């Protein structure tokens, strides 16, 4: 899809957050304490987080005190937030130098793992890569069916186990198939779990270990899918998941369903993990690689 099409989707998706910022109301006002308090309130309301908000406010205070808020101030705020988000070169997915690249996808129930996998598979397929999906969510029979439907739609193969099978054994079979078929990318779907469910977190570690044993360097990415509508809670989840399975990046979904799209900044700031993809809708084209500048532009549009 054309870049401009995605930017429009992103703007539409982030419209509720952009309303919070309401930048038109800034222009022509004097940058005094009451202006800064209001800006601070808006940043907090959009879930940008306390640390990032404080930093932006202090930077605006020292650069713009007693001046008139205008386009330059807006550009300054945007560039401050972009700096907090930018991970040059890190928003792309790691590719193994040789053999299949393996991406393990994890997150709590309903965060958007399976549909994000479908969207990423489509995205990579459009780049000419061959893809295999592993349905390691054997907890619900419907989960593998859901992934099968997406696999058929994206035109890629899937490995699934019988209902209730050990997810690690499905991962094992999927690795063997990926090696035998010489696919470029293996994407592993897992059942949703709470970061507090120790036995399920261990199951995830087991899947991770199996991948690493069968394919050198795997998993090349461990992506944590976070539901953007749950706000600051997402950060606590992310912290525990990261400790347990060493996440390498984040996918933030459902940013269209919230006025708290600023949570991307808060999560990025707290976690020190790059944001790889963001989702702003249910369509196949509604998940795209994250670009800090485009995101911030849409946040304030």
Ligand X SMILES: Nc1nc2c(ncn2[C@@H]2O[C@H](COP(=O)(O)OP(=O)(O)OP(=O)(O)O)[C@@H](O)[C@H]2O)c(=O)[nH]1
Residues in the site for ligand X, rule: CB under 6 A? 107, 109-115, 137, 143, 192, 253-254, 256-257, 279-282, 286
Nearest residue (beta carbon) to ligand X: 192
Shortest distance in whole angstroms from residue 81 CB to Mg ion: 31
Which C-beta is closer to ligand X: that of 153 or that of 213?
153
Shortest distance in whole angstroms from residue 103 CB to ligand X: 14
Distance CA 254, CA 282 (A): 8
Which C-beta is closer to ligand X: that of 77 or that of 135?
135
Shortest distance in whole angstroms from residue 13 CB to ligand X: 8
Residues 71-110 as x/- pattern, contact with Mg ion by CB under 5 A:
----------------------------------------
Which C-beta is closer to ligand X: that of 69 or that of 251?
251
115 near Mg ion, judged by CB under 5 A: no
Shortest distance in whole angstroms from residue 67 CB to ligand X: 38
Shortest distance in whole angstroms from residue 69 CB to ligand X: 33
257 binds, among Mg ion, ligand X, none (CB under 5 to 8 A by kind): ligand X
Among the candidate windows 90-98, 112-120, 233-241, 266-274, which touches Mg ion by CB under 5 A? 112-120
114 near Mg ion, judged by CB under 5 A: yes
User: Can you read off the two tokens belonging to residue 300?
Assistant: 């304030």
282 binds, among ligand X, Mg ion, none (CB under 5 to 8 A by kind): ligand X
Shortest distance in whole angstroms from residue 56 CB to Mg ion: 36
195 binds, among Mg ion, ligand X, none (CB under 5 to 8 A by kind): none
- DSSP of the chain, one letter per residue? --HHHHHHHHHHHTHHHHHHH-GGGTTT-B-SHHHHHHHHHHHHHTT--HHHHHHHHHHHHHHHTTSB--HHHHHHHHHHHHHHH--TTTSSPP--SSS-EEEEEEESTTSSHHHHHHHHHHHHHHTT--EEEEE---SSHHHHHHHHHHHHHHT-EEEE--TT--HHHHHHHHHHHHHHHT-SEEEEE-----TT-HHHHHHHHHHHHHHHHHSTT--SEEEEEEEGGGTTHHHHHHHHHHHHH---EEEEE-GGG-S-TTHHHHHHHHH---EEEEE-SSSGGGEEE--HHHHHHHHT-
Q: In degrees rounded to 5, what are phi and psi of residue 60?
A: -65, -40
Shortest distance in whole angstroms from residue 112 CB to ligand X: 3
138 near Mg ion, judged by CB under 5 A: no
Which parts of this chain interact with Mg ion (CB under 5 A)? 113-114
């Amino acid at each position: 899809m054309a870049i401009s099409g995605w930017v429009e989707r992103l703007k539409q998706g982030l419209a509720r957050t952009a309303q919070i910022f309401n930048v038109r109301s800034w222009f022509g006002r004097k940058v005094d304490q009451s202006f800064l308090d209001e800006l601070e309130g808006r940043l907090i309301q959009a879930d940008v987080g306390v640390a990032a908000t404080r930093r932006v406010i202090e930077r605006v205070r020292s650069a713009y005190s007693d001046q008139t808020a205008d386009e330059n101030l807006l550009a300054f705020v945007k560039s401050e937030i972009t700096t907090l988000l930018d991970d040059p070169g890190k928003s792309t997915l790691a590719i193994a130098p040789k053999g299949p690249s393996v991406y393990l996808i994890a997150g709590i129930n309903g965060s958007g793992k399976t549909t994000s996998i479908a969207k990423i598979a489509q995205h990579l397929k459009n780049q000419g890569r061959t893809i295999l999906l592993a349905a390691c969510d054997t907890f619900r029979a419907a989960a593998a069916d859901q992934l099968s439907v997406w696999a058929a739609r994206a035109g890629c193969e899937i490995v699934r186990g019988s209902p209730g099978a050990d997810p690690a054994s499905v991962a094992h079979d999927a690795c063997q198939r990926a090696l035998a078929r010489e696919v470029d990318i293996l994407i592993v779907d897992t059942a949703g779990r709470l970061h507090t469910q120790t036995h399920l977190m261990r199951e995830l570690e087991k899947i991770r270990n199996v991948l690493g044993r069968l394919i050198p360097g795997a998993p090349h990415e461990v992506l944590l899918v976070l539901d953007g509508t749950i706000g600051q809670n997402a950060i606590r989840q992310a912290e525990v998941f990261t400790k347990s399975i060493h996440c390498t990046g984040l996918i933030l979904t459902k940013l269209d369903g919230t006025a708290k799209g600023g949570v991307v900044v808060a999560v990025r700031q707290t976690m020190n993990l790059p944001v790889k993809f963001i989702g702003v809708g249910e369509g196949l084209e509604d998940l795209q690689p994250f670009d800090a500048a485009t995101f911030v532009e849409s946040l304030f549009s």
